[in-house]
Amino acid sequence: MRTLILQTASKYLLPLLLLFSIFILLRGHYLPGGGFVGGLIASIAFILHAFANGLPQTRNLMRIHPGFLMPVGLGLSFLSGLFPMFLNRPFMTGIWFAEKVAVIGSIGTALFFDIGVYLVVIGASLTIIFTISESN
Amino acid sequence: MLIALLFPFLAAALLALPVREKRDLIVRLSALVPLGLLSFFIYNSQQTPTMQRNAWLRDMPVSLDLYFDGLSFLFILLITGIGTAIFVYAGAYMKGHAYSQRLMAFLMLFMGAMLGVVLSDNLIALFVFWELTSISSFFLIGFNNENEASRKSALTALAVTGSGGLVMLIGFIGLGEVAGTYSIQEIIAQRDAVVNHTAYGWITGLILFGAITKSAQFPFHFWLPGAMKAPTPVSAYLHSATMVKAGIYLIARLTPALGDTPFWNQTLLVLGGVTMLYAAFQSLFHKDMKSILAYSTVSALGILVFLLGIGTSASILAASVFILVHGLYKATLFLVTGIVDHETGSRDVSQLSGLRKVMLPVAIAGLLAAISNAGIPPSFGFIGKDLIYEATELKGHLLTALAVLTNIFLLVAGFLAGWKPFAGPLQPEHQKVHLPEMAMWLPPLLLASLGILFGLFPQLIEKTIVAPVFQSISGTAFTGHLALWHGFNFVLLLSSITIVGGLVLYFIIKPSTALNSFIVKSEKFGPKVILTGIANGFDLFARLYTKFFQNGYLRYYIIFIMLTLIGLLGFEMWHYTTLETNNRLATEVTFYEGVTIFILLVSVVIIVFSQSRLASVAALGVMGLAICIVFVFYSAPDLAMTQFTIDTLTVILFVLVLYKLPKFIPLRFTPHHIRDAVIALGFGALISILTLEVLTKNVNREISEFYAANSYVLAKGKNVVNVILVDFRGADTIVEIAVLSIAAIGVFSLLKLRLPKKERIE
Amino acid sequence: MEVLLAIVIGTLYAAGIFMILRRSLVRLIIGLILLGNGANLLIFLLGRIAKGKPPLIPEDANFMTAAYADPIPQALILTAIVISFGLQAFAIVLVKRAYRVVKTDDIDQMNATDDV
């Protein structure tokens, strides 16, 4: 599948798709989207890049093994659930900043939770796909 | 008292610790434990009856309440008193044995369990200790575990006594529920309510089942002769004084609560009567000393059950005395047998003779025990036998005749085991046999002497032991006197007949292989064979069942599950499905929707029937997209997005591995396929009907409405689905992403990790 | 439309079960996927379907006023879809690995695990 067109296109598609995935992630609290879908879109972006340029290239680009995203994401989600407990609230109580931000709306623990989900989904799906294609 | 009860368990644990040196010393010192317990309980026996309350499980009617009265005291005397003798003896018997510590640890455990049985006031605690005796005796009987017969006997004993115990537990629970309490003393206090309850028969039957299996009553007696594979100290302890008497204890203990009804008395009378005569008769035909003793023990247990079944105060008195009589002489005989076996290597009474010339103290012990067993005055056995005849005499001639006949046989058995090996000329091959160390011959001699001592001075035990036991079982005070001499009366005549008849029979019977093989043949039709047959039948059934259902073919497992599900669901739906339609089903179908559904169905057909893997996978992708569109139509944008991306990833996944995967096995239409298709279509149809049925019913939207109303107010989010995922049910989501991570790690490790070469199976 | 969807669900279940009854491992996995999709649709349908009413709170409101599609089945299915992807991937890799080890994908010949 290493056609020139796809290679060229993927160069621009990767950042675009990643940006789009982050957009989907952030708007998830108000409109369709969220961590799951965002994460899946991001991993598709990387897989597309890998198809066009070969896996080693994508690996280089990512620098770290995608598997590391899983513990990071799990930890982030867990901590954002744990955070309210430091303020003497029950586990998973939502806590927000007062000011609103464009697109994202209120920034709160739920957002960090969703970012954690996003990272885990990217990590898991890329680990699966990369491992399988490397073993061929 | 609780500490005293728990002490043997602690000692057992300590004994099990491995030591390198001084093992024999440790094993010998362990005899101090039963001795200490014996002194403790004798010292405390002044204050009987006492109840000590100990909580165990707070929210359940299970406690470790201990009740110490005359009956418990008698059994504790047997357990710790004879126990001391056995421990001393075993220390010498097992000298130098590699696993002597293990044996002593199990003996100790067993002793603790027995103490628990006779001290517990709570039915459930009693059951726990009861099963503990079964388990520890399993290890004791199977002590020579490299011997197959030994293992088999241990299993038989465990199967019989263990299952009896379980049946008994059901009875206990019934009794506890009927009486509203699990405390035996409280149950006794409300005897009338229990005895008049409709479930009385069941409860009593179940509990008696446990008791008769433990006490080896016909037809469950066969485990006891088999259990003779154990080392002799074990047989002496378990099968003369303790374990088999647990059933007797239970019957005696519950007599005030459940006894004195026609059902109780007749059951015990018949069981005990059959057992005592049958086993006594059997004992005549054996030439192995231990087998003779085993059958005579079964017979003695039969006598006890029989006496408790008569249920008069005379018979209860007889039982109280006979328990002690039997414990003393039977333990002696077992120990004597053990010495003979240990020193000559043989237990065959047809071969052994004249051993008195080389081991006089042992011969004296054997003779004294045989005398006590025979009921020859002035032994304690004479008093016991007198009391038995006094009890039966009041109940008519049939029972008396039974008792006399049994006692004649038992007398012969006692002399066969206790005297025959020592009488006559010494065999040349036994010239070099010598007396074992004192620790072995002193315990039987002491026990045998006690049997004579109590006969000469019955007042020693009349007030201290017999009277309290009588009080415990019958509930009334003991007024009579124990004495050797009652004047010339009918009972004396019976005793004389027994002694003369028995001695004559002893000189007639010559144990031989021919006699032995006769009884072995007759056993082919015995209850053991029937019960083993039943057990084997179960085994066969289990094997066939497993072979049929657990056959290792995935598809049969699925078929069984599906057929069961179809059966159950279909049955239920046949009764309750109305198949009505209403407006809840009436969302109209637009053109685009119709096309989408059509594409979906076609792609499913392609997936199933395509011979090409690629086509199947492509169709799978199409199907996913069609479902995605369904989500779009019906207001689920989040689902549509997720389905779309996952669908993409799935296809990529399949394409990546497809060429590494095997080609399809060509699909031909065989009867198997038709069968599978019928099952699959049937299940699919059921699901469809079920779905439609559910759709006509109302739906509870309370929770959805809560989320809809509060998702912005409480969680500042407007996409309710997302708010549920990241906020309301966030904890679930954490677990879900954890699962996803685990799957990814699983994939990674399956493909990337390599086992070290030696563990590889490729 | 409900009737049509019910038939689709039944078909997916039937196809899924037919496929997992086959001897080929690949068909087994495809059968699992079909069953998973059938279950998703079943949950979706049982939550009642509605057109054009996504469970989104309008921008000018603080809670939902008009009728809306049930968000709970959607949340359930969303995670189910993602997790079933993980499951499929794992199953596929397992098949691949098993195929390499025992050199067959015939389930009937895989039950003698002791011999491998």
**pLDDT over 90, % of chain B:** 12
Q: Which has the minimum average pLDDT: A93-97, A99-103, B33-37?
A: A99-103
Name the residue among C56, C79, C92 with its Cβ closest to that of A31. C56
Backbone angles phi, psi at C105, to 5 degrees: -115, 15
Q: What is the mean pLDDT of residues C80-106?
A: 82
**Contact (CB<8Å) B593/C1:** yes
**Quick one: pLDDT at residue C110?**
64
C102: chain B residues, CB-CB within 8 Å:
none
Compute the C-alpha angle B147/B149/B151, nearest 5°.
70
Q: Which has the minimum average pLDDT: A35-49, A104-118, B197-211?
A: A104-118
pLDDT at position B124 over 60:
yes
**Contact (CB<8Å) C96/B660:** yes
Q: Tell me the residues of chain B between 633 and 672 that have a Cβ less than 8 Å away from chain C.
A: 633-639, 642-643, 646, 649-650, 653-654, 657, 660-662, 664-665, 667
**Torsion sign (Cα): B86, B87, B88, B90:** positive
Query: Which band of pLDDT confidence, cut at 50, 70 and 90, is reported for residue B130?
Result: very high
B33: Cβ–Cβ under 8 A, 6 or more apart, which residues? B7, B8, B11, B87, B108, B111
pLDDT at position B71 over 90:
no
How many alpha carbons fall within 13 Å on the CB side of residue B130?
30
CA–CA distances in Å: residue B639 to residues B233, B263, C79:
76, 72, 9
Q: Which has the minimum average pLDDT: A97-106, B188-197, C15-24, C57-66?
A: A97-106
The CA distance from C47 to the nearest CA of chain A, in Å, is 19
pLDDT at position B488 over 80:
no
Q: What is the DSSP-derived secondary structure letter of residue B67? A: E
The Cβ of residue B240 has, within 10 Å, a number of other Cβ atoms equal to 27
**Mean pLDDT score of chain A, rounded to an integer?**
85
C86: chain A residues, CB-CB within 8 Å:
124, 128
Tally the residues of chain A: 136
At C66, the amino acid letter reads: A
Q: What is the four-CA torsion angle of B684, B596, B588, C3, rounded to 10 degrees?
A: 0
Q: What is the domain partition of chain B in residue ranges? A: 278-511, 554-580+677-699, 589-667, 700-762
The CA distance from A97 to the nearest CA of chain B, in Å, is 11
Using the Cβ of B734 and the Cβ atoms of chain A, whether some distance falls under 8 Å is answered with yes
**CA–CA separation, B475 and B555 (whole Å):** 66
DSSP-derived secondary structure for B633-645: HTT-HHHHHHHHH
B180 conformational bin, left if phi > 0, alpha if psi -120 to 50, beta if neither: left
Nearest Cα to B436, choosing from B506, B365, B379?
B365
The CA distance from B702 to the nearest CA of chain A, in Å, is 22
**Quick one: pLDDT at residue B520?**
66
**Are the C-beta atoms of B143 and B103 separated by less than 8 Å?**
yes
**CA–CA separation, B665 and C105 (whole Å):** 9
**Contact (CB<8Å) A125/C85:** yes
Q: What is the DSSP-derived secondary structure letter of residue B718? A: S
Q: Which has the minimum average pLDDT: B131-135, B265-269, B595-599, C50-54?
A: C50-54
The Cβ of residue B758 has, within 10 Å, a number of other Cβ atoms equal to 5
- Rounded to a whole number of angstroms, the CA Rg of chain A reads 17
**Are the C-beta atoms of C49 and C1 separated by less than 8 Å?**
yes
**Quick one: pLDDT at residue B180?**
85
**CA–CA separation, B135 and B128 (whole Å):** 11
Tokens 């509870």 locate to B700
Q: What is the domain partition of chain C in residue ranges? A: 2-50+69-115
pLDDT at position B8 over 50:
yes
Name the residue among A70, A94, A129 with its Cβ closest to that of B727. A94
* Interface confidence: ipTM more than 0.85: yes
Tokens 């018949």 locate to B270
**CA–CA separation, C47 and B699 (whole Å):** 8
**Are the C-beta atoms of B222 and B534 separated by less than 8 Å?**
no
Q: How far is CA B250 from the centre of its chain?
A: 16
Show which subunits contact C, needing at least 3 CB pairs below 8 angstroms.
A, B
Q: What is the four-CA torsion angle of C75, C79, C80, C82, rounded to 10 degrees?
A: 140
Bridge partner list, B52? B66
**Contact (CB<8Å) B740/C23:** no
pLDDT at position B416 over 70:
yes
Strands B55-57 and B62-63: antiparallel
Query: Which band of pLDDT confidence, cut at 50, 70 and 90, is reported for residue B574?
Result: confident
**Contact (CB<8Å) B740/A120:** yes
Tell me if residue B146 falls in helix, strand or coil: coil
pLDDT at position C114 over 50:
no
**Quick one: pLDDT at residue C41?**
93
Q: Which has the minimum average pLDDT: A72-76, A87-91, B102-106?
A: A87-91
**Quick one: pLDDT at residue B762?**
45
pLDDT at position B6 over 80:
yes
**Quick one: pLDDT at residue B629?**
92
Q: How many CB pairs under 8 A join A and C?
A: 17
**CA–CA separation, A76 and A89 (whole Å):** 18
DSSP-derived secondary structure for B193-254: HHHTSTTHHHHHHHHHHHHHHHTT-TTSTTHHHHGGGS-HHHHHIIIIISHHHHHHHHHHHH
Query: Which band of pLDDT confidence, cut at 50, 70 and 90, is reported for residue B527?
Result: low
Considering B203-207, B507-511, B526-530, the range whose residues carry the highest mean pLDDT is: B203-207
**CA–CA separation, B64 and B127 (whole Å):** 12
Using the Cβ of C15 and the Cβ atoms of chain B, whether some distance falls under 8 Å is answered with yes
A93: chain B residues, CB-CB within 8 Å:
none
Query: B758 or A59, which is more confident?
Result: A59
CATH of C2-50+69-115, one of 1.10.287.3510, 1.20.1290.10, 1.10.3720.10, 3.40.470.10: 1.10.287.3510
**Quick one: pLDDT at residue B422?**
84
Compute the C-alpha angle C72/C77/C83, nearest 5°.
135
Q: Which has the minimum average pLDDT: B553-562, B667-676, B717-726?
A: B667-676
Query: B215 or B699, which is more confident?
Result: B215
**Are the C-beta atoms of B279 and B292 separated by less than 8 Å?**
no
Q: Tell me the residues of chain B between 355 and 414 that have a Cβ less than 8 Å away from chain A.
A: none
pLDDT at position B225 over 60:
yes
B707: chain A residues, CB-CB within 8 Å:
none
pLDDT at position B662 over 70:
no
CA–CA distances in Å: residue A9 to residues A15, A130, B17:
11, 21, 75
Q: How many CB pairs under 8 A join A and B?
A: 144
Backbone angles phi, psi at B180, to 5 degrees: 80, 10
Query: Which band of pLDDT confidence, cut at 50, 70 and 90, is reported for residue B512?
Result: low
Show which subunits contact A, needing at least 3 CB pairs below 8 angstroms.
B, C
C31: chain B residues, CB-CB within 8 Å:
none
C111: chain B residues, CB-CB within 8 Å:
552-554
Q: Tell me the residues of chain B between 239 and 298 that have a Cβ less than 8 Å away from chain C.
A: none
Nearest Cα to C82, choosing from B655, B645, B618, A76?
B645
